[in-house]
Chains A and B, each alone.
Chain A
Amino acid sequence: MDEPHSPLIIPGTWNFEYRYFAGDAATRFFAEIRDNRRIMGTRNPVSGQVMVPARGFSDADYVAATEWVETGPEGVLEVFSIIGTKFPGLPDPPFTLGYVTLDGADTAVLNYITGVDLTDIDAAAEILLKRPRVRAIFKEQREGRITDFHFEVIET
């Protein structure tokens, strides 16, 4: 009888490069951030709700949203998580991300959250659980990406 073989494992990678076409609404949304430091939303004509980040149509009603409305730059941190562990391919911990409803908006936008000391994660979480107000902070060098800004806690 032949000797049993140990299972063969063949290495592989799947590193493709892409260009994501942002579309009409996101192109203008990011141009306003890049050129004017403004976070604009679009209004759903059926419900009257303002969507941030901007969408060209409402997913719920499937109608075009063509009216642009300035929102923020302040808002409320709705929910958050503080990442405490390193995952390969993702940023070094600790960092915080969360959904923010900007003043004048009816949907929430995801971004990084700063302004709370993360030395003690449980203590930081206690502060963030209170849904603090936050303000958008824009980068000096903006390129038309969601990372052109983040939110800073302004009131704890």
Chain B
Amino acid sequence: MSGPIGVIGVGQTMYRRQHSDKNTAELVREAVLAALADADLDFDAVDAIVGSVAPDALAGIANIDLASIARPGKPYFRVNTGGASGSSAFLAGLTWIAAKRAKVVLVVAVERMGHAVTAQQIFNSIFDPIYEKDISMSTISMVALRATMLMQNYGFTLDHWAGLAARNAAASLNNDTIERPRAFTAEQVKASGILAWPIHRLEACPTSEGACAVVLADASLVGSRKPAWVLGARGLSDTYAMGDRFHRPEGSLVKLITLERSAKRAYQDAGITDPARELDLIEIQAPFASSEVMAYMALGLCEEEDCVGFTERAIAGTAGLSIQPSGGPQVVNPVSATALIRIAEAALQVRGRAGARQVDGVRRTLSTGQGGATQFSTAVVLGADRP
């Protein structure tokens, strides 16, 4: 990276099941204007725009970003790495500034899945049409497969999945970007019916729509604004084939190798050697409890042997750092935007602007992105101190 880069603006719409009163461009505009106002910049100051949209079929419009995110007179490109699209777009924005092609980049993500009447049928279409799609795989069963493997390999139980879901729901009550925060107990999760064993209905993220915009700026333009400085930002791809990840020497399906390696490099960039002690807060892209547990290990927050113990401390709130203070993607998961929201939430925390969900004394944070059947991972470290 050349000079330091800061997040100087964050804008979010409300996240709700459907924004039936707004078309997509109207939804995007709301987040963009909020981000520019937060950054105290006019649209003229934006040198380039990076858009994040995941599967087109969820919105039922091919390239929904062309009408809703791209702007006349601005360089524009779209990033799609499934659920990691938002953070991958953020990484692309950083690269434009680091390469000195821009001083200010607007990163915009929008999810329009409320258009879809059969979301899980559409998610079935992300799987290989030759070898896998006919087996009725969906994103929920894809996650369930990993959850069963975590139970087999490490001794996790249904109580852990329910406990994390209940903890995240409780946290969401403080998040004013969520229209309908949900609160429930672990017992209610376990009584809510099986979607795809071991996943119960209340553990699964609901259909969610909304837009998120983030303004990135070169240090020379930060001025007197209060930024969240980008201390490290990395991403990696894995193989598409889940069946290839069972017996490979570097780790099984439930070992998120790309996240582990992305985080390790981001920590190096940020000068972090002991993440569990040096990070104050993490926002993990975990739409299900099992996704969160896999990330704990990959992020180096606990040893593999202690992953059940760490999870229990996370449920109890005694893990030593703030985990998912926004409630995370288990509560709202606007797929194309989720990974950018993790970064936006961390930036708000570092800048002391997180409202009722603000955690005291946040100096360093980590946000993850995860997409495409854990094919894509990103790790972004933000901090209060200029690097």
Q: Please list 29 pairs of residues, one from A and one from B, whose beta carbons are closer than 8 Å in the complex, sorted by A's number.
A: A7-B20, A7-B21, A18-B129, A26-B130, A53-B243, A60-B239, A60-B244, A60-B248, A78-B246, A79-B146, A79-B148, A80-B148, A81-B198, A84-B193, A84-B194, A87-B140, A90-B120, A90-B124, A90-B136, A99-B246, A107-B244, A107-B247, A109-B243, A121-B194, A121-B197, A128-B148, A129-B152, A145-B134, A146-B130
**Residues in B neighbouring A98, C-beta threshold 8 A:** 145
- Evaluate contact between B239 and A87: CB separation under 8 angstroms: no
Flag A123-134 by CB within 8 Å of B: 1 or 0 each: 011001101000
Q: How many A-B residue pairs have CB under 8 A?
A: 137
User: In whole Å, how far is A114's beta carbon from the nearest beta carbon of chain B?
Assistant: 13
- Evaluate contact between B141 and A91: CB separation under 8 angstroms: no
Flag B154-198 by CB within 8 Å of A: 1 or 0 each: 000000000000000000000000000000000000000111111
Q: Which of B144, B243, B253 contacts A81 (CB 8 A)?
A: B144
Q: Which A residues are within 8 Å of any B CB, using their own CB?
A: 7, 9, 12, 14, 18, 20, 22-23, 26, 49, 51-53, 55, 59-60, 78-85, 87-91, 95, 97-99, 101, 106-112, 121-122, 124-125, 128-129, 131, 145-147
Chain B minimum-CB-distance residue to A97: B135
Q: Which B residues are within 8 Å of any A CB, using their own CB?
A: 20-21, 57, 60, 115, 117-118, 120-121, 124, 129-132, 134-138, 140-141, 144-149, 151-152, 193-199, 201, 239-244, 246-248, 253
- Evaluate contact between B152 and A110: CB separation under 8 angstroms: no
Chain A minimum-CB-distance residue to B247: A106
With contacts A12-B60, A14-B57, A85-B196 known, is A129 near B148, CB below 8 A? yes
- Evaluate contact between A82 and B134: CB separation under 8 angstroms: no
**Residues in B neighbouring A110, C-beta threshold 8 A:** 131-132, 135, 137, 242-243
Q: Which of A85, A99, A106 contacts B145 (CB 8 A)?
A: A99
- Evaluate contact between B193 and A85: CB separation under 8 angstroms: yes
- Evaluate contact between A82 and B196: CB separation under 8 angstroms: yes
Additional 17 contacts, C-beta under 8 A, given A85-B194, A99-B253, A107-B247: A7-B20, A7-B21, A18-B129, A20-B130, A23-B130, A55-B241, A59-B239, A79-B149, A80-B145, A83-B196, A84-B193, A87-B138, A88-B120, A90-B124, A109-B131, A145-B134, A146-B134
**Residues in A neighbouring B124, C-beta threshold 8 A:** 89-90
- Evaluate contact between B145 and A89: CB separation under 8 angstroms: no
- Evaluate contact between A125 and B244: CB separation under 8 angstroms: no
User: In whole Å, how far is B30's beta carbon from the nearest beta carbon of chain A?
Assistant: 15
**Residues in A neighbouring B144, C-beta threshold 8 A:** 81
> How distant is the Cα of A82 from the Cα of B253 in the complex, in angstroms?
18
User: In whole Å, how far is B194's beta carbon from the nearest beta carbon of chain A?
Assistant: 3
> How distant is the Cα of A66 from the Cα of B136 in the complex, in angstroms?
30
> How distant is the Cα of A14 from the Cα of B64 in the complex, in angstroms?
14
- Evaluate contact between B152 and A131: CB separation under 8 angstroms: yes
> How distant is the Cα of A148 from the Cα of B122 in the complex, in angstroms?
23
- Evaluate contact between A125 and B195: CB separation under 8 angstroms: no
> How distant is the Cα of A125 from the Cα of B151 in the complex, in angstroms?
11
Q: Which of A22, A101, A124 contacts B246 (CB 8 A)?
A: A101
**Residues in A neighbouring B196, C-beta threshold 8 A:** 81-85
